[in-house]
Structure 1
């Protein structure tokens, strides 16, 4: 008997694991000295935005959210202190 996982049931688990990893990495980046703290946190937001744009193909609101995250990440790296 093969165990077949439903992707809809696996999605919340993967989301929870991703959130835990994200908060852990964010906390570690918060301990870095400047300018590395600002650059690493901005890069995380930018990468999250890019992944949301790629993942959200076909769902416009996810792509818009990804664009906002990408813009915020770039601004956080270079403008927002």
Structure 2
């Protein structure tokens, strides 16, 4: 019988791994020429906002944060002033 892993113990590990991957992808996207740099970083923020909104499950402040991240992503992608 396999031992069951406690999801609460995996959460900090997965969060740290996600942050490392996110910063790595952000650094690579920062080296792209314009307009691809702004577009790819904007898409990343929209994806982050969507995942935060979906993860919220009724917690209003996380849903608002997800909406703000999505709005910033759209602005970042298309207003690369």
How many residue pairs get matched?
81
8 Å CA contact retained: 2:35, 2:80: no
Gaps of 5+ in 2: none
After superposition, where does 1:9-48 map in structure 2 within 5 Å? 9-48=9-48
Q: Secondary structure at the match of 1:5?
A: coil
Please give the alpha-carbon distance, in whole angstroms, between the structure 2 residues aligned to 1:61 and 1:80: 28
Gaps of 5+ in 1: none
Q: Runs of at least 4 residues of structure 1 off by over 2 A? A: none
The Cα RMSD (Å) is 1.0
Corresponding residue of 1:51: 51
TM-score scaled by structure 2? 0.94
8 Å CA contact retained: 2:52, 2:66: yes
8 Å CA contact retained: 2:49, 2:70: yes
TM-score scaled by structure 1? 0.94
